[in-house]
Structure 1
Amino acid sequence: MTSTDAATKADVAARPKRGGGRDRRGELIAIASELFAERGFLATTIRDIADAAGIQSGSLYHHFTSKESMVEELLADYWTTLLQRYREVVDSEPDATKATRGLVRASVLLLDECALALRVMLNDWTYLSETFPFMEESLAECQAIWLDVIERGVAEGSLSSEVDATICYRTVMASVSGTARWFRPEGKVSVEALADDMANIFMSGFAARS
């Protein structure tokens, strides 16, 4: 057993035991998600998850049909949350510039709330997106929301027409995804401060020049 495995098992043992099958299911998803984020989804086995949870491998099948069914819940929750936040921004902010800033901030804030899901996707995007079509479908919906807001801002004259809207969107998404590799919420910079800084950086580039 490696020191990492020992630390994981010790952490699991220290967690308070909760009653109910649904609570146990959530605990197992949390344990599996930590391993998927650390080692990669493809490199993590059912036995790895069971060992970290302190149970027999066969016991996992009382809750899940496969490790794919475990990661599916993690990823579905991320995309559902992201799209919900985007819709809230668009519905509450008619000003295109402020809505664009809000979309940047919403994306960054999930680096804390959905950190494991983001790291899992960074590790194994190709396999996971081919396995779960809802990921590409959700990504397409995200892009549609972004492009609608940016193009509205360009039409209003508040956002620059010099940069293609799709390039703007993809640049933000690539930057946020890359940040998930190094950002840790417990570090010196809070996720709120990071969201504000990244929004300021991007909005200075998006703004129309007078």
Structure 2
Amino acid sequence: MTSTTAATTATPGRRGASDRRAELIQIAAELFAERGFLATTIRDIADSAGIQSGSLYHHFTSKESMVEDLLVDYWSKLLERYRDVVATEDDVTAAASGLIKASVHLLDECALALRVMLNDWTYLSQTFPFMETSLNECQGIWLEVIQRGVDSGDFSAAVDPTILYRTIMSSVSGTARWFRPNGSVSVDQLGEDVATLFMNGISSRP
């Protein structure tokens, strides 16, 4: 009975700490996206949060530990959706379209993470090796789908698969600089349009 009561009374405190941590990550992410990760200081984050700099260290060990949560969330979601697409779509055109749409949808869900990575990819990827590991898995999934499409005759063999993959991903990630989910184009429509653009471009059929 005592242990149950202790667990029950401890839960609100843990939830409160978790909520505060998430709030601070959001504040930091907005600053990282706007100013760049390297240009943003702990003091900047603390000032925006309305707390002393030292108070941040009750929740995080460093500025890097704040951005790490943001990056892990992005890559975990992207790869989970990629794996789901290739596991459920046998048709290569549908699979490639699904990969594009999965990437585009994260422009809305993980907009800040994408903008942070666009600003400071070199530093962040050197600091967090899991980013390159995740990127390599992402590329492997894409190349397997593209090669299947070439082998089946659905995709043109005129463009190197690696160049095609990098062009698609550069176009999608670059969209994070200008796309706004509350604008005139919804993320669903953007996903459809980008998928149509590339699928029509790489189809081997006239």
**Shared topology, TM-score over 0.5?**
yes
Match in the other structure for 1:101: 97
Match in the other structure for 2:35: 39
**Residues 37-116 of structure 1: pairs in structure 2 closer than 5 A:** 37-116=33-112
C-alpha displacement at 1:157, in angstroms? 1.1
* 2:47 alignment partner AA: D
Q: Distance in 2 between matches of 1:125 and 1:19?
A: 32
Match in the other structure for 2:6: none
* 2:106 alignment partner AA: L
C-alpha displacement at 1:138, in angstroms? 0.5
* 1:157 alignment partner AA: G
| Structure 1 segments of 4+ aligned residues over 6 angstroms from their partners | none
Q: Distance in 2 between matches of 1:19 and 1:100?
A: 40
C-alpha displacement at 1:97, in angstroms? 1.1
What value does the CA root-mean-square deviation take over the aligned residues?
Answer: 1.1
Match in the other structure for 1:118: 114
C-alpha displacement at 1:209, in angstroms? 2.8
Question: Cα deviation per residue 1:149-190 (whole Å; 9 max; x = unaligned)?
Answer: 110111111111111111110001110111111111111111
Match in the other structure for 1:189: 185
Q: Distance in 1 between matches of 2:150 and 2:190?
A: 26
Unaligned runs of 5+ in 1: 1-17
Q: Distance in 2 between matches of 1:206 and 1:143?
A: 17
**Residues 112-191 of structure 1: pairs in structure 2 closer than 5 A:** 112-191=108-187
C-alpha displacement at 1:19, in angstroms? 5.7
Question: Cα deviation per residue 1:44-82 (whole Å; 9 max; x = unaligned)?
Answer: 000110111111110000000001000011001100110
How many residue pairs are counted as aligned between the two chains? 193
- The normalised TM-score by structure 1 is 0.90
Unaligned runs of 5+ in 2: 1-13
Q: Secondary structure at the match of 1:128?
A: helix
